Amino acid sequence: MEEFNTERLGRLTGMLKRRGVILPAFEIHGGAAGLYDFGPVGGRLRNRVNQTWIDHWQSLGNIVEISCPTITPYSVLEASGHVGEFSDYLTECSECGEASRADHLVEDIHPNADTLSKDELSKLIEEHNPQCPACGASDWGEIEAQNLMFNTKIGAGLSGRQGFLRPETAQGMFTSFTSIYRHFRERLPFGAIQTGKGYRNEISPRQGMIRLREFNMAELEYFIDPEIAPIHDFSLWKNPVTLIADDGGEVVMTLEKAVDNGVIRHPTVGYFMGWTMDFLLSVGINPSFLRFRQHESTEMAHYAQDCWDAEILGSYGWIECVGIAHRGCYDLTAHEEATGQRLRAWRTFDEPKVVEIDGWTTDGAKAGPAFRSLAGKVNQFVEGLPSDSSFPLSQNIEGTDLQILPEHVKRVQRTENVNGEWFVPHVVEPAFGIDRIIWHLLDHSYTETEKSGEDYAYLSLPEVIAPVDVTVLPLFEKDGMDLLAQKIHRDLCSRKNIFSVYDASGSIGKRYARADEIGVPWCITVDHESLSDNTVTLRNRDSGEQTRVSIDDLPF
RNA sequence: GCGGAUAUGGUGAAGUGGUUAUCACCUGAGGUUUCCAACCUCAUGUCGUGGGUUCGAUUCCCGCUAUCCGCACCA
């Protein structure tokens, strides 16, 4: 593996474009920053990496795949915290049309205007009617969230609701929690995966495929009971891994040891780091260019308790390609609070708990007429009193001095059996940037060498993700070799999950080189001998070795 | 978003205020060729975009878009 450098990067991106792997989108219209196409070769590559990812996580045995819309109502992303974290609020002056940041308009009125919610801001603006900095008018339109999420209207005209294109797939897993919980017969732990597009309106996309405005994500949300210590088999990973912990130190140790030492704070996070590593290596990431880095508490996303990034070294330096975050109960709690729906799991106690209840409550028939609108508050107060309280009792409630008499209250004494409790599951989330991974596996697979004095480049892609499984080459396009090759080609294409390319132009060496360049693992050559004995030569990309096999025994 | 540089066939490059813009590779057709980019003939295909200056602009100037490099931003 040669060094990464700008010249090599140029040759690699040139090849990827020329061969139709990845290329700038909408180029005939001048292009659009942060948007890329997977071309005729890249399309299948993306699909195979995606499918390999799905298969890999489903092999855990308690994982389901779901698919949610990319168009997401405002309230969902407001509840998740994305509106606040990802957006500025803008409002337009009705006089001159100039857009201003809503929090800037009320800066003088509120000390922390940038922390206010949309409703709080519009209330403040309505009350104080700040002047437009452009024209001095004081007539503001509705506040809209702008910036890092793509705004859209769900529905037409005035009846349309504000929405966004999702910035991550995760929220769909949280809003579908009850359905997934039922699917798993209400038993933790379980996980849901989703692959699909995510959108972020980046201010300035850079570095090719690394920062995109529309990108392929793949996320797992794994729901666990925080009170049950997870048991994971770390013996799968014997080799030490490079870890950069948040105290800044780089250490090399096995995942098992890192979990035992507390460098990795949660065993499930550690386990998924191992599972992530297996996936990355299986699609062709070079293990010596992989490390895990723990987020500093200051850079942690708004929802995370602990987070490890898988970083991959390539032509753009170390790039984070996977984030494995312990999100705690943040998301489910947030959606619960916003909707009033229960997003919890039931935990049955080993032994039912016997709870002695001994206290006071109000007698509604007497306390209601006596305290009228304050009766509810009085009830709350009385139920909080210790069992040895005595009445009458004076209390100030909401500015009113009240006398609570014995006739207003009742003693409550009973024994209850409590069999279990509802709790908010915790979530461990491995989130993958598929495009970044595809970029790096191409970057790592791209090998430049020399062949009989000439520059020679090829992709050493693993067979599971190679965009083309095999090319079929008639040595000459005559004497029936072409017909036989076409027949083999069509037969291979009709097989499940096999994709063959027929190539008959140029010398045989040139065709091998073409196949190598996009990482085709196998070439089948049909020659004169094939016509008489039904055999072909099977050539391996990496070794160049050729073996003669019967057409009926092709290993596909 | 700010500053700098750049934009010529599919790719990589050269070049010019004036008729038909050059080269290599690539691609296609034919020939040749009995397994690793061979050769011959022919062919297809380009001045990012909009405006200005000019008799005439791919070339000079300006805007836009995109790309690259800093800075800033970044789950």
Nucleotide with C1' nearest the A539 CA: B35
Nucleotide with C1' nearest the A208 CA: B67
Nucleotide with C1' nearest the A205 CA: B74
Greatest Cα pair distance in chain A: 112
Distance between alpha carbon A171 and the CA centroid of its chain, in Å? 9
Which ipTM was obtained for this model?
0.86
Nucleotide with C1' nearest the A548 CA: B35
Query: Quick one: which of A130, A63, A133, A135 has its CA closest to A96?
Result: A135
Cα–Cα distance, A161 to A74 (Å, whole number): 8
Burial degree of A398 (CB within 10 A; 0-12, 13-18, 19+): exposed
pLDDT recorded at residue A139: 73
Query: Quick one: which of A105, A103, A107 has its CA closest to A117?
Result: A103
The reply to whether A6-68+166-331+427-435 and A71-165 are identical in fold is no
Is the CB of A208 within 7 Å of strand B?
yes
Nucleotide with C1' nearest the A320 CA: B75
Helix, strand, or coil here: A157? Answer: helix
- Whose CA is nearest the C1' atom of nucleotide B65? A30
- Whose CA is nearest the C1' atom of nucleotide B29? A505
Residue spans of the domains in chain A: they are 6-68+166-331+427-435, 71-165, 351-419, 468-553
Three-class HEC string of A508-547: HHHHHHHHHHCCCCEEEEECHHHHHHCEEEEEECCCCCEE
Cα distance from N-terminal residue to C-terminal residue, chain A: 30
Residues 270-299 of A with CB under 7 A from strand B: 299
φ, ψ dihedrals at A528, nearest 5° = -60, -40
pLDDT recorded at residue A387: 81
Q: Which residue(s) pair with A421 in the sheet? A: A347
Find out whether A313 and A393 touch, Cβ atoms under 8 Å: no
Helix, strand, or coil here: A31? Answer: coil
Find out whether A345 and A181 touch, Cβ atoms under 8 Å: yes
Find out whether A343 and A332 touch, Cβ atoms under 8 Å: yes
pLDDT recorded at residue A295: 85
Residues 526-545 of A with CB under 7 A from strand B: 526-528, 536-537, 539, 544-545
Per-residue pLDDT tens digits of chain A, which is 556 residues long: 457 888 888 889 999 999 999 989 888 888 888 899 999 999 999 999 999 999 999 999 999 999 999 999 999 998 998 887 776 666 766 665 556 667 767 766 776 666 666 777 777 777 777 776 656 667 777 776 656 788 888 887 777 888 899 999 999 999 999 999 999 999 999 999 999 999 988 767 778 888 898 999 999 999 999 999 999 999 999 999 999 988 768 899 999 999 999 899 999 999 999 999 999 999 999 999 999 999 876 655 555 678 999 999 998 888 999 999 999 999 999 999 999 999 999 998 888 888 877 887 877 777 777 777 777 777 778 777 888 888 788 888 777 787 887 888 778 777 778 889 999 999 999 999 999 999 999 999 999 988 877 888 999 999 999 999 999 999 998 889 999 999 999 999 999 999 999 999 999 999 999 999 999 999 999 999 999 999 999 999 999 999 999 999 999 9
The full DSSP string for A174-241 is HHTHHHHHHHTTT-S-EEEEEEEEEE---SS--TTTTS-SEEEEEEEEEEE-TTSPP---GGG--S-E
CATH of A71-165 among 3.20.20.140, 3.90.1520.10, 3.30.56.10, 3.30.40.230: 3.30.40.230
Find out whether A149 and A143 touch, Cβ atoms under 8 Å: no
Q: At what angle do helices A434-445 and A6-18 cross, to 10 degrees?
A: 110
Strand B bases contacted by the protein (CB, 7 Å): 1-2, 10-12, 26-29, 32-39, 48-49, 65-69, 71-75
Is the CB of A551 within 7 Å of strand B?
no
> Would you identify the CATH topology of the domain A6-68+166-331+427-435?
BirA Bifunctional Protein; domain 2 (3.30.930)
Local structure of residue A14 (DSSP, 8 states): H
Is the CB of A467 within 7 Å of strand B?
no
Find out whether A282 and A276 touch, Cβ atoms under 8 Å: no
Cis peptide bond prior to A167, omega within 30° of 0: no
Quick one: CATH architecture of A468-553?
A: 3-Layer(aba) Sandwich (3.40)
Rounded, the Å distance between the CA of A14 and C1' of B9 is 15
Find out whether A296 and A264 touch, Cβ atoms under 8 Å: no
Q: At what angle do helices A42-58 and A267-282 cross, to 10 degrees?
A: 140
Q: Where are the alpha helices (DSSP H) in A393-498?
A: 434-445, 481-493
Rounded, the Å distance between the CA of A511 and C1' of B39 is 16
- Sign, CA torsion A238/A254/A318/A262: positive
Find out whether A84 and A117 touch, Cβ atoms under 8 Å: yes
Is the CB of A91 within 7 Å of strand B?
no
pLDDT recorded at residue A444: 94
Question: Buried b / exposed e across A56-95, counting CB within 10 Å, b at 16+?
Answer: bbeebeebbeeebebebebebbbbbebbbebbebbbbbee
Query: Quick one: which of A56, A12, A543 has its CA closest to A282?
Result: A56
Residues 373-402 of A with CB under 7 A from strand B: none
